[in-house]
């Protein structure tokens, strides 16, 4: 159970991480209309809270919360509209039966998450266009960023992760991750304290990607043995020496 003092510290750390990412990558700019993607998980509720807090400090941007109702059996469709109406947050619920498509198209024994995420992303981009937003905000946090880095390193042979800000390949959308510097355990503690009405993602019965679970466990074990290692690894993502790597596209070795 969180004490008042510990939750205060947790909230301070979350706000600090949020503002650091916002300032370093200019995630909020005057006149922005930001689509806050709300899945009903702890991360997205926390992200929405951070934006509401930011709106008290900066009055020059708008937000609209968007949830995709994927028509999973048992999806409690009243939860988010009630929650958002109570907060007075403008919102849109997009109803698309991606659940049936994913069930139909995923081969037996495979996890459905990658196709589900792809379809969800497509729907969110279409919604962003319809709403005329300037940015799309996703609730990925520090651990998501590190896990993705290792997944790419171990399984895709590339050094890349989820950036705090990027433009989609078609040039139409700017996607931002304002929680990229926030710790997952802080988010979990905050979500518990705030008693967010969490909607589980796996209503569809799918399992989280196995490799991601393995990487998550690897990082937890490291952190236990070598406290602060995650912080060090995260700092490494901001401290890259192209001249001491092997990618000739990012460093011109002919000039050495
Ligand atoms: S657990 Fe289910 S709803 Fe969540 S991403 Fe995977 S397939 Fe989609």
pLDDT at 209: 72
Q: Report strand pairing: 165-167 vs 174-176.
A: antiparallel
pLDDT of 29 above 80: yes
How much is the average pLDDT of 241-248? 97
pLDDT of 4 above 70: yes
pLDDT at 1: 59
Distance from residue 135's CA to the centre of ligand 1 (Å):
24
Question: Measured from the CA of 113, which atom of ligand 1 is nearest?
Answer: 6
Q: Which protein residue has the closest C-alpha to ligand 1 atom 6? A: 113
Q: Which of 34-38, 95-99, 109-113 has the highest mean pLDDT?
A: 34-38
How much is the average pLDDT of 165-187? 97
B/e letters for 171-208, b = 16+ CB within 10 Å, e = fewer, are eebbbbbbbbbbbbebbebbbeeeebeebeeeebebee
Residue with tokens 């236990």: 224
Q: Is the CB of 103 under 6 A from ligand 1?
A: no
Question: Measured from the CA of 112, which atom of ligand 1 is nearest?
Answer: 7
- CATH of region 4-206, choose from 3.30.930.10, 3.10.129.10, 3.40.50.620, 3.40.50.300: 3.40.50.620
pLDDT of 50 above 70: yes
pLDDT confidence bin for 5, thresholds 50/70/90: confident
From 39, 76, 106, 117, mutation site for ligand 1 pocket: most ligand atoms within 8 A of C-beta:
117
Percentages helix, strand, coil for the chain (3-state, rounded to 5) are: 55, 10, 35
Q: How far apart are CA 193 and CA 38, in angstroms?
A: 19
pLDDT at 157: 97
* Residue 187, CA distances (Å) to 11, 15, 99 in order: 9, 11, 28
Distance from residue 116's CA to the centre of ligand 1 (Å):
6
In the chain, the percentage of residues whose pLDDT exceeds 70 is 98
Q: How far apart are CA 41 and CA 39, in angstroms?
A: 5
Number of other residues whose CB lies within 10 A of the CB of residue 84: 19
Q: Which protein residue has the closest C-alpha to ligand 1 atom 1? A: 202
Q: Is the CB of 201 under 6 A from ligand 1?
A: yes
Q: Is the CB of 116 under 6 A from ligand 1?
A: yes
Which tokens is 52 given?
Answer: 């509401």
pLDDT at 113: 83
How much is the average pLDDT of 17-27? 98
Distance from residue 244's CA to the centre of ligand 1 (Å):
39
Which tokens is 15 given?
Answer: 């706000």
From 73, 112, 212, mutation site for ligand 1 pocket: most ligand atoms within 8 A of C-beta:
112
Q: Which protein residue has the closest C-alpha to ligand 1 atom 5? A: 113
pLDDT of 109 above 80: no
Residue with tokens 């901001």: 238
Q: Is the CB of 202 under 6 A from ligand 1?
A: yes
pLDDT of 128 above 80: yes
pLDDT at 114: 83
How much is the average pLDDT of 32-55? 98
Sign of the four-CA dihedral 111, 116, 117, 119: positive
Spans of all domains in the chain: 4-206
């Amino acid at each position: 159970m969180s004490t008042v003092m510990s939750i205060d510290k947790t909230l301070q750390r979350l706000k600090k991480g949020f503002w650091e990412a916002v300032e370093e990558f200019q995630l909020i700019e005057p006149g922005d209309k930001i689509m806050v993607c709300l899945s009903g998980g702890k991360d997205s509720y926390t992200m929405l809270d951070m934006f509401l807090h930011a709106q008290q400090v900066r009055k020059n941007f708008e937000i609209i919360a968007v949830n995709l109702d994927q028509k999973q059996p048992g999806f409690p469709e009243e939860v988010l509209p009630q929650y958002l109406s109570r907060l007075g947050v403008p919102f849109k619920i997009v109803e698309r039966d991606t659940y049936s498509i994913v069930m139909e198209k995923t081969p037996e024994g495979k996890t459905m998450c990658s196709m589900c995420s792809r379809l969800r992303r497509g729907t969110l981009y279409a919604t962003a266009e319809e709403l005329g937003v300037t940015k799309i905000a996703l609730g990925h946090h520090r651990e998501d960023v590190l896990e993705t880095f290792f997944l790419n390193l171990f399984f895709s042979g590339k050094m890349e992760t989820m950036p705090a800000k990027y433009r989609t390949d078609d040039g139409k959308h700017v996607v931002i991750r304002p929680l990229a510097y926030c710790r997952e355990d802080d988010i979990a503690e905050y979500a518990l304290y705030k008693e967010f009405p969490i909607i589980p993602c796996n209503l569809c019965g799918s399992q989280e990607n196995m490799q991601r679970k393995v990487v998550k466990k690897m990082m937890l074990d490291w952190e236990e043995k070598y406290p602060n290692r995650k912080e060090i690894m995260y700092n490494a993502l901001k401290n890259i020496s192209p001249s001491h790597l092997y990618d000739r596209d990012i460093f011109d070795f002919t000039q050495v």
